[in-house]
Chains A and B, each alone.
Chain A
Amino acid sequence: MRHRFLGTLAAAVAIALVCWPAAPMAEQQGGAQPVAPGDAPIPRTPDGKPDLSGLWAKNIQQDTYGMGLLAAGLRAREFTPFGLTLYEARVHQVDPDAFCWLPGVPRLDNDPYPLEILQRPDRVIILYEFNHNFRVIHTDGRPHPPDLEPSFLGHSIGRWEGDTLVVDVVGFNDKTWLDDHGNVHSDRMRVIERFTRLPGNRLQFQFTIEDPVVYAKPWTSAARVWPLADPSWRIMEYSCTAYNNVLSAAGGGTTPGPHSLGRPDVLETAGQDGPGGREGGAGGRQGGTPQN
């Protein structure tokens, strides 16, 4: 009796698999969440996962630790003794982003320039306009390599928890800030990011920092929701050193470097934005304006 049931079930599964239609990779209705009237449904890939692909108009969050505390109803930042000295010392440092180094994770997610996601069955690619960066998030089940060399962006692996892509990032060096405020970290940091595509063409993003060297306990940022960019938007080039007059004048001033792409209307003095040089992206956008 049991064998007959298993046989029938197995055959049914086999027939279903053979006959599964090859659906196009892009828009496919799915998901069981209630959807408000007029909200675009969550597109899914053929394996049923939400499709995060697209150009997302993300917004800036300058002090992610502070905003996270606010969102959680907490007040005091909780550092280890070393963490406190590291945090207080940052005001005497130049923002590492001013040197056009890779900005680190999650800082790439916290600055206002758009990001573009391309999702494949075994990996999720994120292109960042900010400082012209990319990350590859492996979703094929591979673990972190055992002998990771410290890097600016770490090593990212992702898995799906329901409709949320949970990304685990380790292997950092200590040369980056977490955000524009200067929230700090050590090379023992572990970042957990959560990307959830919502109905209505929105992407929810939130992250958790685990860094026992700096923080007395893990903390989580406030959740943010990014809209899908207008279809006329394109991810643009950002060549940090070519546009950065502060670097080329090494110490401030308005003198452009010997080679400069900057047009007079986009040149900046060192005093306006600090040494960050973030505003150098010449070329603007096709239609639309950045949303904050």
Chain B
Amino acid sequence: MSRYVWAAAVVVFALAAAPVGAPVSADQGQQAPGAARPVPRMPDGTPDVSGVWDKPARPNLADGLGPLPFTAAGRAKFEERVKVVDPVAYCYLPGSPRLMTHAGAFEIAQRPGKVIMMFEWMHNWRSIPTDGTPHLGEDAAQTLLGDPIGRWEGETLVVDTTHFSDDLTWLDDVGNQHSDALHLVERFTRVAYDRLQYEVTIEDPKIYTKPWTVRWTIPLARPGTELGEDTCVATVYGPGKPPIPDVKPGPR
């Protein structure tokens, strides 16, 4: 009898201690409190930033920075923004980093060679290769979210994004501006199991005389949080255009 109990105890211990060979973050906080758990890692030791995170609102990306170092064209574009409709009113994709500035959940899923980020706002995603894939060529079309590529620098995921459009996206809700020369550098560091440090550098020589950087912390969302669905319904398609008609479901 005692030998059976001993064997069962060994099995229980082994199950608890066995390495799974896969990232640990399958559950979020079902065991120890978030801060006490170690940062999960990929099999090769790279930090695993997978999880559902709860972004705080940051309507003004440059909050706290004081006057931005505008070029003349940059200042004019910033001041002219009050005369144009916010492009998201047309359901244009919001651009990066504006996606990071809206409050609410976002989800990261990571594998060796790839990091995917998913956002509630307009059901957006960014697919970021970390396997050495280079940027799109110079002749590739501009995009609203940009062309992101990633690499690991120690504990930090560095995402480098180019190929933005010139005026179809804003940096944030208050209308901070960028041009198609925007070179966005973001740094994601999982400083604790339940905290993601996010740092973004705006480099855009057409708008700003020098790059500027802001940083904030994003906590892990409550365990079990799933991203909500958001579909954008544009009610305006340009000045003077009528709104889209309602879709009639047919007779019931």
On A, residues with C-beta under 8 Å from B are 3-4, 6-11, 13-15, 17-18, 20-26, 45-47, 53, 82, 85-86, 89-90, 92-94, 96, 99-102, 116, 118-123, 125, 127, 132-134, 136, 138, 140, 151-153, 174-175, 184, 234-237, 239-242, 247-251, 257-259, 261, 263, 282-284, 286
Among A85, A120, A175, A249, max chain B CB count under 10 A is at A120
Known: A120-B23, A123-B109, A257-B90. A247 touches B18 (CB 8 A): no
Measured CB to CB, the closest approach of chain A to B213, in angstroms, equals 26
Cβ-defined contact, B109 with A14, below 8 A:
no
Interface centre among B109, B133, B232, B245 (most CB of A within 10 A): B109
Q: How far is the CB of B227 from chain A (nearest CB, A)?
A: 7
In order of increasing CB-CB distance, the 9 nearest A-B pairs are A89-B250, A283-B141, A10-B7, A14-B14, A7-B7, A22-B21, A46-B21, A122-B26, A17-B18
Contact indicator A93/B141 (Cβ below 8 Å)? no
Within the assembled complex, what's the spacing in Å between the Cα atoms of A123 and B21?
A: 16
The interface residues of chain B lying within 8 Å CB-to-CB of A249 are: 237, 241
Instruction: Identify B22's interface contact among A45, A90, A152, A184, CB under 8 A.
Output: A45
Provide the bound-state CA to CA distance between A231 and B82, in Å: 44
Known: A239-B92, A240-B91, A259-B92. A125 touches B238 (CB 8 A): no
Cα distance, A259 to B4, chains bound together (Å): 74
CB distance from A49 to the nearest CB of B (A): 11
CA gap between A92 and B113 in the complex, in Å: 47
Per-position binary interface string of chain B over residues 142-179, scored 1 when its CB falls under 8 Å from any chain A CB and 0 otherwise: 11110000000000000000000101100000000000
Instruction: Give complex CA distance A183, B107 in Å.
Output: 32
- Report the stretch among B59-67, B116-124, B188-196 that lies at the interface: B116-124
Q: Which residue on A lies nearest to B6, using beta carbons?
A: A7
Q: In the complex the two chains form, is A258's CB within 8 Å of B247's CB?
A: no
Chain B, residue nearest A281 (CB): B141
Q: Hey, which chain A residues are within 8 Å of B145, CB to CB?
A: 237
B14, A120: Cβ atoms closer than 8 Å: no
Please indicate the chain B residues that have their CB under 8 angstroms from the CB of A13 in the complex. Answer: 11, 14
Asked if A120 and B26 sit within 8 Å, CB to CB, the answer is yes
Whether the Cβ atoms of A259 and B14 lie closer than 8 Å is no
Q: A17-B18, A125-B109 are in contact. Are A4 and B248 (CB under 8 A)?
A: no
User: Min CB distance, A170 to chain B, in Å?
Assistant: 14
Number of interface residues of B (CB under 8 A): 74
Q: What distance in Å separates the Cβ of A217 from its nearest Cβ neighbour in chain B?
A: 21
- From A20, A93, A96, A257, contact of B237 by CB (8 A): A257
The secondary-structure label for the interface of chain B is: loop
Contact (Cβ within 8 A) A24 B109: no
> Smallest CB-CB separation from A133: which chain B residue?
B123
Query: B3 and A237: CB pair below 8 A?
Result: no
Q: Are A20 and B23 in contact (CB under 8 A)?
A: no
Question: Contacts A100-B91, A247-B244, A250-B237 known; A132 to B123 CB distance under 8 Å?
Answer: yes
In the complex, are the beta carbons of B232 and A100 less than 8 A apart?
A: yes
Contact B141–A134 (Cβ < 8 Å): no
For A90, list chain B residues within 8 Å (CB).
250
Please state if A121 and B168 are interface contacts (CB–CB under 8 Å): no
Name B23's contact: one of A10, A21, A121, A140 (CB within 8 Å).
A121
Interface string of B212-252 (1 = CB under 8 A from A): 00000000000000110101111001110110110111111
Interface flag for B114 (CB, 8 Å): yes
CB distance from A81 to the nearest CB of B (A): 11
Q: Which of chain B's residues have a CB closer than 8 A to the CB of A138?
A: 226
Q: In the complex, A83 Cα to B3 Cα: how many Å?
A: 66
Chain B residues within 8 Å of A118, by CB: 109, 111, 114, 116
Besides the contacts A11-B11, A250-B241, A258-B239, what 16 more A-B pairs have beta carbons closer than 8 Å?
A14-B14, A18-B14, A26-B112, A46-B20, A89-B251, A102-B123, A118-B114, A119-B111, A120-B22, A120-B23, A134-B116, A153-B123, A241-B91, A241-B237, A261-B168, A282-B141
Q: Can you list 10 pairs linking A and B with CB atoms under 8 Å apart?
A: A14-B10, A25-B42, A101-B231, A102-B123, A118-B116, A122-B26, A127-B127, A132-B93, A239-B143, A282-B141
How far does the Cβ of A257 sit from chain B's closest Cβ, in whole Å? 5
